[in-house]
A and B are shown apart, each in its own frame.
Chain A
């Protein structure tokens, strides 16, 4: 289903439909994460991927228009790059340990220490939270700073020129004050 949604998103030219397909794609990915028992990741994927990013893309589309412009360039070069990269990635999975294999390297490194020690070191039932917030506290601090930086960047680029209380004072609204009055009334 994931593949079908992604392929459809490639073929359809209406950007509005593509946005919706990507939203569905995120929701499907979220359910995939749930079947993999990664509930925290599924949460994030459903809220960010299917929810907020869809809304943001839609607001962008409302500004830019819904139709994709046809490009005259040949698709041969991008197609080759994508196919080669995909083939290398699939070839790489042949070396990966079987899914759920307890002897896989990822289960041999730090995971056993977390699983054995976190109940009496942190004492939290949700081990994901204790790893993210305590053992990997610096990483999460960095992530929070990244999000903050993203917000500052968007504000610096777009900005919010009119705030809700001062709406009527801004030059654009001052020319048509009766409109904003009637909305509240």
Chain B
């Protein structure tokens, strides 16, 4: 893949803002539009832009596949773990109201962590699929 300098510079400029926006969508998802899925996809898209513009090996050095492989599972485990935590505290599975003294706060924490789990899984799976496709090219 031949690399255009202008595209590389612009992509490097945009790259941190895309990641920042992804984090904003992730953690602001309970107030504004967005949530774990959208944030994960935007995060992955940011890294993919970096990989396409700067080079796949640089992106792989930044986010190595060996790191993504466990993260794929960790996201799902966080989600399930929050559900189990609710059970340990005497509620139903995935009932967040028992996570804190105030049910509203419990719901808030529950949704925050569940969305985090979704975000981690989505971002790492999307990147993994992209890496797998790109690895087939050369």
**Residue positions of A touching B, CB distance < 8 A:** 39-40, 43-44, 47-48, 51-52, 55-56, 59-60, 62-63, 120-126, 128-130, 132-134, 137-138, 140-141, 143-145, 147-148, 150-152, 154-155, 158-165, 167, 180, 183
Chain A nearest Cβ from B70, distance in angstroms: 12
Tell me if A123 and B107 are in contact (CB < 8 A): yes
- Scan B14-58; emit 1 where CB is below 8 A from any A CB, else 0: 000000000001000111111111100110110010001001010
Interchain CB contact (< 8 A) of B122 among A124, A147, A154, A163: A147
B30 pairs with A130, CB closer than 8 A: yes
Contact B33 A140 (CB under 8 A): no
Q: Judging by beta carbons under 8 Å apart, are B75 and A137 in contact?
A: no
Complex CA distance for A177 and B21, rounded to whole angstroms: 38
- CA distance in complex: A163, B64 (Å): 7
In the complex, per-residue mask of B60-83: 1 if CB is within 8 Å of any chain A CB, else 0? 110011100100110110011001
A50 to chain B, nearest CB (A): 10
Interface contact A129-B35, CB-CB below 8 Å:
yes
Interface flag for B88 (CB, 8 Å):
no
Q: How far is the CA of A48 from the CA of B38 in the complex (A)?
A: 9
Query: Closest approach, in angstroms, between the C-beta of B105 and any C-beta of chain A?
Result: 9
Contact with B129, one of A40, A133, A141, A154 (Cβ below 8 angstroms): A154
Number of A-B contacts (CB under 8 A): 161
Q: Give 20 A-B pairs besides A133-B36, A134-B110, A151-B125 with Cβ atoms closer than 8 angstroms.
A: A39-B33, A40-B38, A51-B41, A122-B111, A123-B108, A129-B35, A129-B111, A130-B30, A133-B111, A141-B83, A141-B94, A144-B121, A147-B122, A148-B73, A151-B121, A155-B132, A158-B132, A158-B135, A163-B66, A165-B66
CB nearest neighbor in A for B86: A137
| B129, A63: Cβ atoms closer than 8 Å | no
CB-CB under 8 A from A155, the residues of chain B are 69, 128, 132
**Are A126 and B60 neighbours in the complex by a CB distance under 8 Å?**
no
Q: Is the CB of A144 within 8 A of B79?
A: yes
Residue in B61, B72, B104, B126 with the greatest tally of chain A CB atoms within 10 Å: B126
**Interchain Cβ contacts under 8 Å between A and B, 15 examples:** A40-B35, A52-B45, A55-B48, A59-B130, A120-B104, A125-B31, A126-B30, A129-B30, A133-B111, A141-B79, A148-B121, A159-B132, A164-B60, A165-B66, A183-B57
Q: Are B33 and A47 in contact (CB under 8 A)?
A: no
The residue on A at minimum CB distance from B80 is: A141
